[in-house]
Amino acid sequence: MKASTSPDRALHHARIALLGLFLILGVNTSSWLARLPTIREMLGLTTADLGAVMLAGAVGSLVMVTFAGSIVLRFGGTPVYVFAASSSFLALALEGIGPAVGHTWVLVVGIFLNGMSIALLNVVQNVETASVERRMGRAIVPQFHAAFSIGAVLGSLIGAGSSALEVPVVVQFLVMTTLTLVWRLVSVRYIIHDTHLAGEVRWERASTARVRRVQKAEIRGGVVQAAPGTTGARAVVRARRASLASALGAWREPRTLFIGVVILAASLSEGSANNWLAISVVDGFAASESTGALVFGAFVTAMTVVRIFGTRLIDRYGRVLVLRASGVVSMVGLLLFGFGPTLAVSAVGVVLWGFGAALAVPVGIAAASDDPLKAAARVSVVSAFASMSSLVAPPVVGLLAESIGARQTLTGITVFVVLSILLSKHVARLVPEDTTGAQGDSSRVDGSAPTDDERRTETTTLGMEMAVAENMVADAFAVEVLMDEDDDVARAEARSRG
């Protein structure tokens, strides 16, 4: 057999590492959820209290995803991932320590910090999975989400086993978070491709940042004057506004926002099933808790199967058609589940619902990552829509379920599924401007598109050139200020001689 080339091995290692990272994320999430009844009992919380506490995670996630893209672009994937993995370690430890010491506020801080950490981790992981898919030339992003689903099943078993063996919550969480941190730190060296920053780029950015800090200090200290017609404070404020506008640029892109709505609908569908499906089966059919758990297991299994094998459908028929078909299947499944006269009919609806909900999130993430140069910012934006869903859905679904029943309430998700179908055209594959050949320097002489490595080199060079240009502008600004001061001195001397 022909030996694999170095890029092939690197790609293989990245794929395996990312599959493991999604798997362990699912294990952590599900094993924590499985111990919620114990946590509620330890802290003496009501169900409503626990729901309010869990909202802290959605708030933390929403706060972080707003800026996660610009953070990754500024510092690069490796340091950001290491920082987020370390903060996630601390967060899960606090989630175990809080109930152990009887302080709800410690648990809330841990949940909030974990929401922020996971949001930052997910931006890097999702950008890198799209990078692997792009280099392989076929759809594989759903397989990583399938790994998360498999991890969720394993996590449920771990949580149930720990509960049955009466393992203290703090012990379970500390062991899990330690193993997770080790795996993440070992894996990070293999996964960073599109979020990697070359040493030269980091050095230039650090140099530019130092120049700007010196300029601001000189303006504040009165060593130099700001540009004519402005004050030092105004100059600093304008610089900060320009930096913030650049960081939030993806929020002004209609295509990215439409993809965000698709992600919101998909997250609402999957998240509502996770939170309410088992309960709705128990309440709607007077079934046992084990039956509700089995029906939810059918939903997760259906999603996992489609995520593993559905990539061929994306390769053959394209994202748009697959997303539209998924939406139709989801609608049929939701209506069967909500209005089915028997448990058997509703169970069939649950399976169809799982089939339809499986690919929407992976397709949306891949669509937001089409351009590797803007992937981090765009994935951050669409992830914010998922966080909004997690923030708003639980209380709204709970309120409506009290009035009309959980099963009937869940059928309302069809409204968002219809919206997702209507916006499905926006997930079509986007060809970045610098690979179309429209810009002369971006295509080779033979007219073919440049490779990812060539585009990465171009980007690094462009970043260095921009940093140099910024330094030149800063120098010109300083020279202009000094010349103005010299002119003032010369005029004063002339007046004194006169």
Q: Is a pLDDT exceeding 90 seen at residue 13?
A: no
Q: What are phi and psi of 412, to 5 degrees?
A: -65, -15
Using the 8-state DSSP alphabet, how is residue 424 labeled?
A: G
d(CA 347, CA 277): 11
Mean pLDDT on 160-181: 88
Confidence of residue 203 (pLDDT cuts 50, 70, 90): low
Confidence (pTM): 0.65
Q: Which amino acid is at 335?
A: L
Q: How far apart are the first and last CA of the chain?
A: 93
Pull the structure tokens for residue 241: 């506004």
Average pLDDT across the chain, whole number: 76
pLDDT in tens, 125-151: 888 888 888 888 788 888 888 888 888
Conformational region of residue 428, where left means phi above 0, alpha means psi within -120 to 50, and beta covers everything else: beta
pLDDT in tens, 430-448: 765 544 443 333 333 333 4
3-state secondary structure 134-201: HHHCCCCHHHHHHHHHHHHHHHHHHHHHHHHCCCCHHHHHHHHHHHHHHHHHHHHHHHCCCCCCCHHH
pLDDT in tens, 287-342: 886 788 788 888 888 998 998 888 889 989 999 999 999 999 999 999 999 999 99
**CATH topology match: 7-193 vs 247-430:** yes
- Fold observed for domain 247-430: Growth Hormone; Chain: A; (1.20.1250)
Residue 495's Cβ-count burial label (10 Å; 0-12, 13-18, 19+) is exposed
CATH 1.10.1760.20 fits 7-193, yes or no: no
Mean pLDDT on 253-275: 89
Would you state the pLDDT for residue 457?
Answer: 42
Q: What percent of the chain has pLDDT over 70?
A: 72
d(CA 242, CA 328): 43
Higher pLDDT, 43 or 217: 43
Q: What percent of the chain has pLDDT over 90?
A: 25
Domain extents in the chain: 7-193, 247-430
Would you state the pLDDT for residue 211?
Answer: 66
pLDDT in tens, 254-263: 999 999 999 9
pLDDT in tens, 17-50: 888 998 998 888 878 877 877 888 888 887 667 7
d(CA 32, CA 489): 70
